[in-house]
């Protein structure tokens, strides 16, 4: 193997080191955000929260997430994934630790707001890094791998949190998990390198062979600028693109369903099947293990379709259609008597959502120039957070008035097919980079 081949091989390996770092951060991100849902029955009993109180606490997180997504999307386009992610991580970890220091609805709302600001940087930074280091054919697969961290985090949380809460109390559970997670920040600052960028073309470029750590074979990313769109593009120009609105609309409709699973599933199992804090673990672990399969499998499937000769447009949309079908049966989860049948229906929906997301997240990098990807993801993330805010209020109102999850699951099972229809209307053809 000559020097050039060795450099390329090392660069290929380094790309997957990046995915590993993004996976770990996403695990931490979802442990931090999901803990409030798992502790809801405990905190509700201790502080006398109504469903409306809890819904408002969730709403403040999602409001901050919406605001932060816009800010971090544009910021990461300017300062890069490395500095942007480090900034976001520090903000959300500090806010997470602060949960252990508050004891009122207003206090929890404030720290959830700060948590939402910080956590909103996770996906813009991660997807910016993926777009820079991976060619189009591999992006959905790489995204599916790091996005699986959301499920791993959701698996770890119901195992870890009851143990720490019983041993040390809920306050120290927040503080301990926050302090330990700071080790990731050290690893990120030491190991992550921004790839070199050709400023005239606005694309990453291969480095010389003797600089192997920055030699990913991603010259094909030059093709990510759509015909008729300048390679360097500002926030307002991104906002005018049909692809941005397709992404944002789909996020508005489908992100709230994942929020629903994260923040309300323990409540559903407590209400419908009488589970306690110590009993949530096995059902939630099963749901998020299956969701992990969906996250990685959804990214792999579209890659497999493209490697088999299918166009990028057809591969992405066919995969998303199949994912949308997986979510439909969750409509019936309220009415099945068996706990494990309900778990199965929800697990199938969670897998469908994660497989859907692995492909939806590639839409900006497939259709928008490198300099606008963070902004487009920020706009979409804000749209999804607004949808999540509305879903939280809707869920709280339904539960306070009816006590039934059926209307909530009816919405969950329907919106993915609607979202795909909107994507097809606004982006009838994704530019074909599948040869890359």
Summarize pLDDT for 246-303 with one digit per residue, the tens.
Answer: 999 999 999 999 889 877 888 899 888 988 777 877 898 899 889 888 888 888 898 8
Using one digit for the tens of pLDDT, what is the confidence trace for 375-397? 888 888 889 888 988 888 898 88
Domain range annotation of the chain? 3-191+234-426
Residue 394, CA distances (Å) to 58, 63, 390, 408 in order: 12, 15, 6, 8
436 vs 78, which has greater pLDDT?
Answer: 78
pTM: 0.72
Strand, coil or helix: what is 143? helix
Q: Which of 167-171, 263-267, 432-436 has the lowest mean pLDDT?
A: 432-436
How much is the pLDDT for 433? 59
Query: Residue 12: is its pLDDT beyond 80?
Result: no
Which pLDDT does position 209 carry in this prediction?
Answer: 34
> According to CATH, what is the number of the domain 3-191+234-426?
1.20.1250.20
pLDDT of residue 168: 92
Residues 365 and 45: their CA atoms lie apart, in Å, by: 45
The arithmetic mean of pLDDT across residues 360-365, rounded, is 85
Phi, psi of 431, deg, nearest 5: -55, 135
pLDDT reading at 435 higher than 80: no
Q: Copy the structure tokens of residue 65.
A: 């997430």
Chain centroid to CA 73: how far? 14
d(CA 79, CA 124): 12
Task: Give the tens place of pLDDT for each residue, 198-229.
Answer: 444 444 444 333 334 334 444 444 444 454 45
State the helix-helix crossing angle for 81-98 and 3-38, rounded to 10 degrees. Answer: 20
pLDDT at 230: 52
Mean pLDDT, the chain, whole residue set: 83
Q: Are 157 and 31 in contact (CB under 8 A)?
A: yes
How far apart are the two ends of the chain, measured CA to CA in Å? 23
């Amino acid at each position: 193997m000559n020097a050039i081949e060795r450099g390329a091989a090392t660069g290929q390996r380094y790309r997957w080191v990046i995915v590993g770092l993004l996976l770990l951060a996403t695990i931490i991100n979802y442990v931090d955000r999901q803990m409030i849902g798992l502790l809801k029955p405990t905190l509700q009993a201790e502080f006398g929260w109504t469903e409306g109180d809890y819904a408002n606490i969730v709403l403040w997180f999602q409001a901050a997430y919406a605001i932060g997504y816009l800010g971090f999307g544009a910021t990461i386009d300017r300062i890069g994934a490395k500095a942007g992610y480090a900034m976001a991580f520090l903000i959300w970890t500090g806010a997470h630790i602060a949960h252990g220091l508050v004891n009122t609805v207003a206090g929890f709302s404030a720290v959830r707001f700060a948590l939402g600001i910080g956590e909103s940087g996770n996906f813009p930074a991660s997807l910016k890094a993926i777009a820079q280091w991976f060619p189009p054919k591999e992006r959905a697969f790489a995204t599916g791998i790091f996005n699986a961290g959301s499920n791993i985090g959701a698996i770890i949380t119901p195992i870890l949190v009851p143990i720490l809460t019983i041993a040390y109390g809920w306050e120290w559970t927040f503080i301990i998990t926050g302090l330990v997670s700071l080790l990731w920040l050290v690893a990120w600052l030491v190991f992550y390198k921004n790839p070199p960028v050709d400023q005239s073309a606005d694309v990453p470029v291969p480095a010389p062979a003797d600089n192997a750590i920055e030699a990913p074979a991603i010259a094909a990313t030059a093709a990510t600028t759509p015909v008729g769109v300048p390679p360097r593009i500002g926030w307002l120009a991104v906002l005018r693109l049909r692809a941005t609105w397709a992404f944002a609309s789909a996020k508005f409709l489908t992100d709230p369903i994942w929020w629903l699973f994260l923040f309300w599933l323990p409540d559903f199992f407590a209400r419908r099947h009488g589970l306690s804090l110590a009993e949530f673990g096995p059902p939630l672990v099963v749901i998020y293990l299956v969701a992990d399969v969906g996250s990685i499998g959804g990214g792999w499937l579209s890659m497999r379709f493209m490697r088999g000769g299918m166009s990028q447009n057809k591969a992405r949309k066919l995969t998303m259609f199949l994912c949308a079908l997986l979510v439909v049966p969750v409509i019936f989860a309220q009415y099945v008597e068996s706990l494990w049948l309900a778990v199965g229906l929800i697990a199938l929906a969670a897998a469908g959502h994660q497989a859907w997301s692995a492909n939806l997240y590639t839409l900006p990098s497939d259709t928008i120039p490198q300099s606008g990807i963070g902004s487009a993801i920020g706009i979409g993330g804000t749209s999804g957070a607004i949808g999540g805010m509305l879903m939280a209020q809707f869920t709280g109102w339904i539960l306070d008035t009816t006590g039934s999850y059926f209307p909530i699951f009816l919405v969950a099972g329907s919106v993915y097919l609607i979202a795909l229809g909107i994507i097809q209307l606004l982006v009838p053809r994704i530019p074909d980079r599948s040869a890359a």
